[in-house]
Amino acid sequence: MEEFVRLRALAAPLMRDNIDTDVIIRIDRLVGGRPDEVGKYAFELLRYLPDGGENPDFVLNREPFRRAQILLAGANFGCGSSREPAVWALQQMGFRCVVAPSFGDIFFANCFQNGMLPVVMERRTVEAIAAEVEADAAHGFVTVDLQKQTIVSPSGKEFRFEIEPARREALLHGLDEIGMTMRREAEIAAFQSRDRNRRPWIYR
Amino acid sequence: MGRTLFDKIWDEHVVADLGNEVALMHVDLHLMHDLGGGPGFRMLAEKGYRVRNPELTFATADHAVSSAPGRTEDTNPVGGRLLRMLRAASAANGIRMFDLGSDGQGIVHVIGPEMGLSLPGMTIVCGDSHTCTHGGVGALAFGIGSTELVHVLATQTLVQRRPRRMRVTMDGAPAAGVTPKDMILHLIGLVGAAAGSGFAVEYAGAAIRALGVEGRLTICNLSIELGAKIGMVAPDDATFEYIAGRPMAPKGEMWERALAHWRNLNSDGDAEFEREVRFDSGALAPQVTWGTSPEHVIAIDGRVPDPDGAIDAGRRASMRAALEYMDLKPGARLEGLPIERVFIGSCTNSRLSDLRAAARVAKGAKVASRVRAWVVPGSTGVKRAAEAEGLDRIFRDAGFEWREPGCSLCVGANGEMVDPGKRCVSTSNRNFVGRQGPGARTHLASPVSAAAAALAGCLVDVRKLGVEPWKNS
Ligand code: SF4
């Protein structure tokens, strides 16, 4: 997994609540589609017009947001379906970090499995950073520092964020969770042999 | 201090405490479906792992299969490919699969409880966000992504952070025409679609206790629409009666042991919840969504709200976009709004009690000529049981299409969609933009409200039809 330590990049504001994973990537692009091609379908219904052309009104189609790597979003970002390609689609668009007041729980967990940093910040903080970015988009550079757990707005305002220590470690070092769990095989086997006596009906 | 139902089940499944409220948890049951199953096995192989406990994983076909009468696996060709991929990988890995046409095939969240696979006190996961449904039998169940799915196949465990606890107490007794679907939609409207984020929710109170297991499954199903990936109801005699005798349920002496264990699964009197919500279900009217988030919900006799009344900018933006997408104006009434489609089905409302309730409304009436209405039973088992008592006849005579079990019109992954700009009253769980097809406009409602809308050709207040109170079976 790719590490995430520190990122200074353009940020794009998508300040609408409840952007769900169906909106991020439509199911029919997953059925039979290729996982490495989901990026071009990200936000399909917002990003493209019915004739297939780009919708110039959609914020992520506008300069300089097309080049943004940090997404500023409304509450409950990534709610809905558990589809992990929602994370892949954002990554393939170039995003490495999403900052929002809250996230869908499953999307949030999926981010960490893919080296994407989801940052939870108070709504007014995200709105304040978004306002700065919108006021001067060309200079809308935001710095996300996972080591220090801070976000610095374009004007230099610093905000601290909280993150679960184990997830921070895993991102900082690009650790693979499955590999780490495999090393605990003895504990898993011990659990199951105890459990088989206690709850034999589970093992059928 | 007392422990919650959630804590009791969680604690029992900790393989290793990883500190800071993070644990390596044992997974008792893993369910797979056609959409994520094949790709999941491919990811497992690419990473070089093998299935650790094939006996704890079961598979079925639901998302990508056609629901057309007389369907074959290739009626939806892409679905056929996915199904064959899952079938081959399941066989190669020793995983039991409920294939098309067999008892046990159906929507993964319908067949788990129906087959007696999903049991109280279990940890259950599936690569699908509505896995919270299984909390209706008192399990700790949640949806996972594809990397976590591989983690489960390879290790039979997951690394999880202990969520906070929320209790939702529903008091009173709902009026006629108000169903479990209305109770949970009302809750989402009350607290918002992000309120459950980071929480495990326990549903309690007289109105929950009075429900049968199927109604509880409906309630738990929409936990994820509340933002909570886990929702559960403490098991009781109604649960045990429901499970007893099901094909995969424990039998004989094993049943007695399991039952003794399950009787301890409830929240202690002094257990503490980080958040408590309470309302009187007796005061509710039938609910229907107007927008593109399940929180965009009102009583059928209410009016569409004005975004300017919302405090947060993000919320206002979401409401404005929803009104535009749904072609509605603030202050509009939903009652009388013409519709073109009706979908009765999905893991929310496709069980026998749902179909019986809808059939009572449809009996002897006719679907409006402007409406195309579908009934899609949740499983082969539900379909057979419904046909045995003649529900299919009632629906067909009224002009509904009676279809084959699967996710169908809930998701648009199987070639079945609502046309752009058309309005669909749906008993499913998501009214998201494009969920039922690009440009499709979804109004979520209960099975009785959906059936009533099909007959009227518009959204209606089902109470005006003199409908009976909700029945548990
Ligand atoms: S019925 Fe709909 S919500 Fe339920 S599992 Fe199928 S696609 Fe998902």
Q: What is the pLDDT of residues B167-188, one digit of tens each?
A: 999 999 999 999 999 999 999 9
User: Which residues have C-beta atoms less than 6 Å from ligand 1?
Assistant: B 62-63, 107, 109, 128, 130, 346-347, 407, 410-411, 428-429
Cα torsion B120, B121, B124, B128: sign: positive
Where in chain A are the domains? 6-162, 174-204
Q: How confident is the model at residue A79 (pLDDT cuts 50, 70, 90)?
A: very high
Give the Cα separation of B463 and A45 in Å (integer): 37
| Complex confidence, ipTM | 0.95
CB of A178 closer than 8 Å to CB of B150:
yes
CB contact under 8 A, B312 and A75: yes
pTM given for the model: 0.97
> A49 alpha carbon to ligand 1 midpoint, in Å?
28
pLDDT score of A81: 97
Q: How confident is the model at residue A66 (pLDDT cuts 50, 70, 90)?
A: very high
Give the Cα separation of A112 and A110 in Å (integer): 5
Q: Name the residue among B91, B199, B325, B260 with its Cα closest to residue A199.
A: B260
pLDDT tens, residue by residue, B342-398: 999 999 999 999 999 999 999 999 999 999 999 999 999 999 999 999 999 999 999
B70: alpha, beta or left? (left if phi > 0; alpha if psi -120 to 50):
left
Residue B208 pLDDT exceeds 80: yes
pLDDT score of A1: 84
Q: Which residue has the tokens 């900790």?
A: B14
Q: How confident is the model at residue A33 (pLDDT cuts 50, 70, 90)?
A: confident
Nearest CA in chain B to A194: B15
Q: How confident is the model at residue B1 (pLDDT cuts 50, 70, 90)?
A: confident
> B429 alpha carbon to ligand 1 midpoint, in Å?
8
**Longest distance between any two alpha carbons in chain A, whole Å:** 65
Instruction: Average the pLDDT over B47-65 and give the result.
Output: 97
> A55 alpha carbon to ligand 1 midpoint, in Å?
30
Pocket test for ligand 1, best of B62, B129, B133 (most atoms within 8 A of CB): B62
Q: What would the DSSP string read from start to end of chain A?
A: -----EEEEEEEEE--S--BHHHHS-GGGTSS--GGGGGGGTTHHHHB-TTSSB-TTSGGGSTTGGG--EEEE-TTBTBS---THHHHHHHHTT--EEEES-B-HHHHHHHHTTT-EEEE--HHHHHHHHHHHHHTGGG-EEEEETTTTEEE-TT--EEE----HHHHHHHHHT--HHHHHHTTHHHHHHHHHHHHHH-GGG--
B335 is written with which tokens?
Answer: 């009652």
Residues in chain A: 204
Give the Cα separation of B189 and B226 in Å (integer): 9
Give Cβ neighbours of residue B440 (< 8 Å, ≥ 6 apart): B412, B417, B418, B419, B420, B421, B422, B424, B434
Run of H or E including B107: none
Give the Cα separation of B380 and B16 in Å (integer): 39
DSSP type of residue B303: B
CATH superfamily of A6-162: Aconitase, domain 4 (3.20.19.10)
Residue B463 pLDDT exceeds 80: yes
Q: Burial code of A157-192, b = ≥16 C-beta within 10 A, e = fewer?
A: eebebebeebbbebbeeeeebbeebeebeeebeebb
> Helix, strand or coil for residue B164?
strand
Q: How confident is the model at residue B88 (pLDDT cuts 50, 70, 90)?
A: very high
Give Cβ neighbours of residue B136 (< 8 Å, ≥ 6 apart): B113, B213, B214, B216, B217, B218, B219, B220, B221, B232, B233
**Phi, psi (5° rounding) for residue A128?**
-65, -45
Q: Is B144 on the interface with A (CB under 8 A)?
A: yes
CB contact under 8 A, B148 and A182: no
Pocket test for ligand 1, best of B32, B33, B35, B63 (most atoms within 8 A of CB): B63
Q: Between residues 305 and 324 of chain B, which touch chain A (CB distance below 8 Å)?
A: 312-315, 317-318, 321
pLDDT score of B66: 97
Instruction: Average the pLDDT over A12-35 and give the result.
Output: 92
> B213 alpha carbon to ligand 1 midpoint, in Å?
19
Residue B8 pLDDT exceeds 80: yes
Residue A32 pLDDT exceeds 80: no
Residue B289 pLDDT exceeds 90: yes
CB of B221 closer than 8 Å to CB of B132:
yes
List the residue whose alpha carbon is closest to atom 6 of ligand 1. Answer: B407
Give the Cα separation of B51 and A138 in Å (integer): 50
pLDDT score of A170: 94
Give the Cα separation of B143 and B135 in Å (integer): 12
pLDDT score of A204: 87
List the residue whose alpha carbon is closest to atom 2 of ligand 1. Answer: B410
A80: alpha, beta or left? (left if phi > 0; alpha if psi -120 to 50):
left
Pairing of strands A97-100, A117-120: parallel
Q: How confident is the model at residue A34 (pLDDT cuts 50, 70, 90)?
A: confident
Give the Cα separation of A160 and A137 in Å (integer): 23
CB of B400 closer than 8 Å to CB of B196:
no
> Helix, strand or coil for residue B161?
strand
CB contact under 8 A, A109 and B148: yes
- The percent of residues in chain B predicted with pLDDT above 70, rounded, is 100
Pocket test for ligand 1, best of B221, B410, B414 (most atoms within 8 A of CB): B410
- For chain B, domains (ranges, CATH) are 5-275 (3.30.499.10), 287-465 (3.30.499.10)
pLDDT tens, residue by residue, B307-318: 999 988 999 999
Instruction: Average the pLDDT over B273-281 and give the result.
Output: 98
B194 is written with which tokens?
Answer: 């992000």
Q: Is B430 on the interface with A (CB under 8 A)?
A: yes
Nearest-CA distance A199 → chain B (Å)? 7
- Using an 8 Å CB-CB cutoff, list chain A residues near B121: 199
> Helix, strand or coil for residue B7?
helix
Give the Cα separation of B290 and B451 in Å (integer): 18
pLDDT tens, residue by residue, A86-114: 999 999 999 999 999 999 999 999 999 99
CB contact under 8 A, A76 and B22: no
CB contact under 8 A, A16 and B314: yes
Q: Which residue has the tokens 């509505």?
A: B130
The mean pLDDT value of chain A amounts to 96
pLDDT score of B352: 98
Q: Which residue has the tokens 């070092």?
A: A173
> B79 alpha carbon to ligand 1 midpoint, in Å?
15
List the residue whose alpha carbon is closest to atom 4 of ligand 1. Answer: B347
Q: Is B15 on the interface with A (CB under 8 A)?
A: yes
Q: Name the residue among B348, B351, B394 with its Cα closest to residue B373.
A: B394
Q: What would the DSSP string read from start to end of B16-36?
A: EE-STTEEEEE-SEEEE-HHH
pLDDT score of B429: 98
How many CB atoms are closer than 10 A to CB B150? 24
Give the Cα separation of A46 and A55 in Å (integer): 7
Residue A180 vs residues A63, A143, A175, B54, B140: alpha-carbon distances, Å: 41, 30, 8, 21, 24
Residue B256 pLDDT exceeds 80: yes
B27: alpha, beta or left? (left if phi > 0; alpha if psi -120 to 50):
beta
pLDDT score of A35: 87
CB of B129 closer than 8 Å to CB of B135:
no
Q: Which residue has the tokens 């757990």?
A: A149
CB-closest option in A15, A187, A203 to B16: A187
pLDDT score of A28: 87
Residue B55 pLDDT exceeds 90: yes
HSE at residue B308, side-chain half, CA atoms within 13 A, is 3
pLDDT score of B347: 98
